[in-house]
Amino acid sequence: MPLSLEWQILHNNHEQYERSALLIKLSSLALFFGGLAAHLPPLWLGLAVSLCWLLEGIYKTYQARLLERLLKLETLLQKADAPAGSAMQLYSEWAKQRPGALALIAGYARSALRPTVTIPYLPMLLLLGLAKFLPWA
């Protein structure tokens, strides 16, 4: 059972990196809008956002390394437990079913346009577009 234990640990770590990436995105938004409200120079705002982007890239690189090991573990688990080989195959199954680049982008766009995703971003974009007309901007 050490392979399944390793899979569980790495899966949890993989998901933690995803949560960390989301927190970095949220922090970037907070820095950006806080900086706009504080009238910080665009150069400083751009540097702060770029730093967050770089940090998220580092986290995503670590996550990709975990994914490589998870895929290898799933192959080993499938061979070791042929009758119940469908257990712990999340990443292998995703890799087999992953659509092409355009279909993947279209799927992301559909997800982004869902109301529960759109609601926080649309008002921010509208405010950003109206910022020059607002007295506090």
- The confidence score (pLDDT) of residue 62 equals 83
- In order of 40, 44, 67, 130, 132, the CA distances from 136 in angstroms are 14, 20, 46, 11, 9
User: 113 falls in which pLDDT band (50, 70, 90)?
Assistant: confident
pLDDT digits (tens, 9 = 90+) for 50-105: 888 888 888 888 888 888 888 888 888 888 765 555 567 777 877 887 788 898 88
DSSP state letter for 121: H
pLDDT of residue 30: 93
- pLDDT at 34 (0 to 100): 93
In the chain, the percentage of residues whose pLDDT exceeds 70 is: 85
> Please, which pLDDT band fits residue 19 given cuts at 50, 70 and 90?
very high
In angstroms, the Cα distances linking 100 to 45, 68, 96 are 35, 19, 11
Q: What pLDDT was estimated at residue 23?
A: 92
Alpha carbons 74 and 9: distance in angstroms, whole number: 13
Alpha carbons 22 and 61: distance in angstroms, whole number = 15
Least confident span in 14-18, 25-29, 42-46, 78-82: 78-82
